[in-house]
Amino acid sequence: MTSSTTLRQESVRETRAPVEVRGLHRAYGARQVIRGLDLRVQAGEFLCLLGPSGCGKTTLLRTLAGLDAADAGEVDVPTQVAIVFQEPRLLPWKRVDFNVRFGVAGTRGARAQALAALEEVGLADHADAWPGTLSGGQAQRVALARALVREPHLLLLDEPFAALDALTRIRMQALVRELVDRHRPATVLVTHDVEEAILLGDRVLVMAEGRIVRDSDTTGITRDAADAVALDVLRRDLLRELGVGG
């Protein structure tokens, strides 16, 4: 299982451009938010970004998504990028099916694609519903489907589970992991949950004061169920890094 995944990753790595950020600077007015940030994400890699509130995680993601320009530095991202925000941001006046189709270039003739994506997030039977009739978790799954139909090479997730209840959250985590394993985009997930960051991704980054201050590989811990000690150590380390506890 592990080896086949690695093999696929290798072949993908050659065809897709990885994310490459060098010396990024971003400021809001006089306030420097990102100061000389460097970041590399390999194709198919799942990266989790932790950091105290207000340290610039959303700002970084917006820059990667092309919503804001960099003040200084280089940002290389694939052409196909998809972003899922903390809120679903569905068009309430369009049915679910159209909302998903809105992710692809031409909205015409994309219904089959949209239905397939909805099927993947388990909402095929809601294709004709209004977004207003969905629960929070369902709406966020539609947003995920809308990101998936874009067949992104880079998937950006900005605290997509933050507004969900604990149970829905666990289901969503599993779903995201499954979808990312299947489609293998480079993924950057912003989260406040240390546990989530360790278990969901391949790498955990900690951001503080506009820079990456820590970069830990977690594949060993995630894949090796036995390594409970390493998990514990890393968890405590990360929490300290974030200014919580010991």
* Beta-bridge partners for 34: 26
Decide: is 55 part of the binding site for ligand ATP (CB under 6 A).
yes
Q: How far apart are CA 82 and CA 225, in angstroms?
A: 31
The answer to the question of residue 191 lying near ligand ATP (CB under 6 A) is no
Q: How far is the CB of 210 from other proteins (least distance, A)?
A: 22
- Residue 161 in the binding site for other proteins (CB under 8 A): no
The answer to whether 28 contacts ligand ATP (rule: CB under 6 A) is yes
51 near ligand ATP (CB under 6 A)? yes
With a CB cutoff of 8 Å and minimum separation 6, the contacts of 2 are: 223
CA distances from 235 to 74, 145, 227, 229, 239 (A): 32, 31, 12, 10, 6
133 binds, among ligand ATP, other proteins, Mg ion, none (CB under 5 to 8 A by kind): other proteins
Half-sphere exposure of 140 (CA within 13 A, CB side): 22
| Residue 58 tokens, joined | 């959303």
CA distance 29 to 64: 20
In this chain, which stretch among 50-58, 165-173, 194-202, 229-237 interacts with ligand ATP, using CB under 6 A? Answer: 50-58
133 binds other proteins (CB under 8 A): yes
Q: Which is nearer to other proteins, 110 or 242 (CB)?
A: 110
- Dihedral angle of Cα 85, 90, 96, 101, to the nearest 10 degrees: -70
Q: Closer to other proteins at the Cβ: 161 or 194?
A: 161
Contact 66, 81 (CB under 8 A): yes
Q: Between 45 and 158, whose beta carbon lies closer to Mg ion? A: 158
Q: Which is nearer to ligand ATP, 126 or 169 (CB)?
A: 169
- How far is Cα 43 from Cα 12, in angstroms, rounded to an integer? 7
| Piece of the chain touching other proteins by CB under 8 A; list 15-23, 33-41, 130-138, 183-191 | 130-138
Residue 22: DSSP 8-state? E
Figure out which of the listed residues 3, 4, 15, 53 binds ligand ATP, where binding follows CB under 6 A. Answer: 53
64 versus 127: smaller Cβ distance to Mg ion: 64
Of 9, 32, 58, 107, the one binding Mg ion by CB under 5 A: 58
